[in-house]
């Protein structure tokens, strides 16, 4: 027997409602159920949840994750489409990373100036 939705929710810090939503819209495949209708998450299901959590935390849109699962379920003939989708999302993330790095650099500069101002009592911008 696998994990219950409550256990998966606790393991990943994802509300049960979110897990149900991920399954309903197609971000993760349908989870097998016990004879009593309780979700029974297998290791494979858990891997899908882990992937969804990682990708969502990185900011990938729900639509991209839905498309990826759809392509995955269509089989090996979709390798190129999956590669293209993932590559496109990586490019978007790299651009976001560049923007974040620029912002961090700007903040580091300002912080250094204020640290100096705290020590000297003067704020000097170069």
2 and 40 in contact (C-beta within 8 Å)? Answer: yes
The total of other beta-carbon atoms located within 10 Å of residue 72's CB is 15
For domain 1-74, which CATH number applies: 1.10.1660.10, 3.40.50.1220, 3.40.190.10, 3.20.20.190?
A: 1.10.1660.10
pLDDT in tens, the chain (126 residues): 899 999 999 999 999 999 999 999 999 999 999 999 999 999 999 999 999 999 999 999 999 999 999 999 999 999 999 999 999 999 999 999 999 999 999 999 999 999 999 999 999 987
Phi and psi, residue 71, nearest 5°: -65, -40
For the chain, give the number of residues. Answer: 126
Domain limits, the chain = 1-74, 87-126
Considering only CA atoms, which of 49, 45, 48 is closest in space to residue 15? 49
d(CA 86, CA 99): 20
């Amino acid at each position: 027997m696998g994990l219950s939705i409550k256990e998966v929710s606790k393991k990943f810090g994802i509300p049960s409602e979110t897990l149900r939503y991920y399954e309903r819209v197609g971000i993760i495949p349908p989870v097998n159920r016990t004879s009593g209708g309780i979700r029974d998450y297998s290791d494979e299901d858990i891997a899908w949840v882990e992937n969804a959590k990682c990708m969502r935390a990185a900011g990938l849109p729900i639509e991209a994750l839905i498309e990826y699962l759809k392509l995955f379920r269509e089989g090996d003939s979709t390798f190129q489409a999956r590669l293209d989708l993932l590559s496109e999302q990586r490019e978007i993330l790299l651009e976001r990373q560049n923007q974040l790095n620029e912002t961090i650099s700007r903040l580091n500069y300002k912080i250094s100036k204020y640290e100096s101002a705290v020590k000297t009592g003067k704020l000097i911008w170069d």
